[in-house]
Amino acid sequence: MLPAAFILIFALHPAAGFDISLSTKCVAIPKELSQCYDVSSSEMRLPNLMGHTSLEEVVVKFTGWETLVRTGCHPHARTFFCSLFAPICMDIFILPCRSMCLAIRESCTPVLNCQGHFWPSNLNCDRFPTDEDSCLPSLTKEAKPFPRVFPTATCQDCPEIEEFSANKRAINSICANSFAVKVKLSRKPPLFEVQEHNIDCQVKFLNQELLLSSETCSAMQQWLLINENCTRQMSRACHPMAYLIVGTMQQSSVLVKQVYCWPRQDSQLSLATWKWRHHKCV
């Protein structure tokens, strides 16, 4: 089964240049691109702006980008890629503005690099019109600032997967961190040989001064998507695939420090998480 990063190699392969003067037709957006429905309505033009001539080709090539979008590397990445892969069915093509491309390239390239890829040449931002022309603008300038800094996940080396030890030294070490969450991984039905996982997160311990429960789970899911090599290692290490993941905050970034296999029934783990929940770490 191929990881998402491997199939991305094919999705990033430079497409032939597309002449937007070519005749196109309107077709229904396939269910595999359902996340593009609110961007392109229910129909798209084919060939699209990536030069794909069949829906089968569109779905296969979009799969790798969908994984990148799910990492949350940029709030408007989904709009950008949907406008290219499933352009709205109008009399003319509306391309993304160059500023949108540049913003997304800057934010998402570190994630691609983490997974062993680079921003592809067929998405050179110079190919897109400037904001003074008719194009789909970046919406980041319209976003209202929020006073709270939300935690984000970044690329990092995979921590060693360990068996949990309930001795006092181990528990005190974990208590010194910002959070401990229980994560369950389950494999999704593969799409075009891409293996993805459902991620179920449950907070066990939290430093309330730094993080909120929902933020922690969101950041943990983002970490597992960005660091997909680590996720694959975890999915092979334990059965069932349940883990205790411990980490801390460095500025606004989440850093995973330790990963423990979580056996189905483990009284020592239950005791330790009870101490964390009731703030009895000393």
Integer Cα distance of 90 and 102 in angstroms? 25
pLDDT at 11: 44
239's tokens: 């059965």
pLDDT at 174: 73
pLDDT at 102: 95
Mean pLDDT of successive 10-residue stretches along the chain, which has 282 residues: 41 43 80 84 89 92 87 92 91 88 94 91 92 71 44 88 72 79 78 66 76 85 90 75 86 87 72 64 62
Contact present, 262 and 242 (Cβ < 8 Å): yes
185's tokens: 């991984």
Contact present, 109 and 154 (Cβ < 8 Å): no
> For the chain, how many residues are written?
282
pLDDT at 280: 61
pLDDT at 9: 37
Domains and CATH numbers, the chain: 2-142 (1.10.2000.10), 152-277 (no CATH)
55's tokens: 């829906």
